[in-house]
Amino acid sequence: MMELMVGPVLALAIGAGCRLLDIPLPAPPKLQGALLVLAMTVGYLLGDKFLGMR
């Protein structure tokens, strides 16, 4: 449970730090791009579930 709370806070800090220090971000700098990455993962997991049902 603790890890689930630390992870997002650390990710937010990494994103903010990259912007403040002008370092390239290891993620898409636009929210739409990040949501596309999320959509790919969701599609992968849906495929995993679908193939597991067959």
The count of chain residues that interact with another protein, using the rule CB under 8 A, is: 39
Contact present, 8 and 1 (Cβ < 8 Å) = no
Nearest to 23 by CA among 35, 33, 14, 11: 14
* Residue 6 binds another protein (CB under 8 A): no
Distance CA 6, CA 28 (A): 21
What is the footprint of another protein within residues 13-52 (CB under 8 A)?
Answer: 13-20, 25-48, 50-51
Shortest distance, position 50 Cβ to another protein, whole Å: 8
- Can you give the binding site for another protein, defined by CB under 8 A? 4, 7-8, 11-20, 25-48, 50-51
